[in-house]
Amino acid sequence: MTSGAGSSLAAKAFLSGLVAAGITAMAFGVALAQGAPPATKDAALPTFPRTGIDAVDALKGTWIRPDGGYQIVISSASPDGRLDAMYFNPNPLPFAKAEAVMEGTTLRVSLELRAGGYGGSTYDLAYDPSRDRLVGVYHQAVAKQKFDVYFVRSTAR
């Protein structure tokens, strides 16, 4: 048998460990409850509160850049943000990357061109639901220049 003092010290150490573990578990549980849910690959992009338009559907269509007639055609958008899109200047060029993400309440579109001498040029656009426009910056990688641009939805059927 152990002495009273030894078992008392062991009991105190055991209880201190339990209390520390309990505090850690409680803090971890509260942090999980208050944190945002983890993003999943299958999480759908939301709808816009004022219009009720689904964010994915809002991007589908033909978008025209009025200052040059350049076109972006988005034929489909998956809930995870991948876009099936093509660029026309005036001939079709595939995008190396085409995706959409929500940043707060803003739907952002990122497009990258590598074909046809574009050398990694990008469009970084935001969807403006009140004006039904894509607005942002075109980075011409070859010339190392940036241009403020916007695209309007084509009404041609």
What is the amino acid identity at position 33? A
Residues 114 and 61 in one domain: yes
Same domain as 69, residue 20: no
pLDDT (average), residues 42-49: 48
pTM: 0.67
**Secondary structure of residue 28 in the 3-state scheme:** helix
Residue-level pLDDT at 53: 53
Residue-averaged pLDDT of the chain: 75
Distance between CA atoms of residues 63 and 17, nearest Å: 63
d(CA 28, CA 30) in angstroms, rounded, equals 5
Closest C-alpha to 73, from 64, 82, 116, 81? 64
Domain range spanning residue 24? 1-35
Q: Count the domains in the chain.
A: 2
CA atoms within 13 A on the CB side of 77: 23
Do 124 and 61 fall within a single domain? yes
CB proximity list for 69: less than 8 A, separation 6 or greater = 90
Please report, rounded to a whole number, the percentage of residues in the chain having pLDDT higher than 90: 53
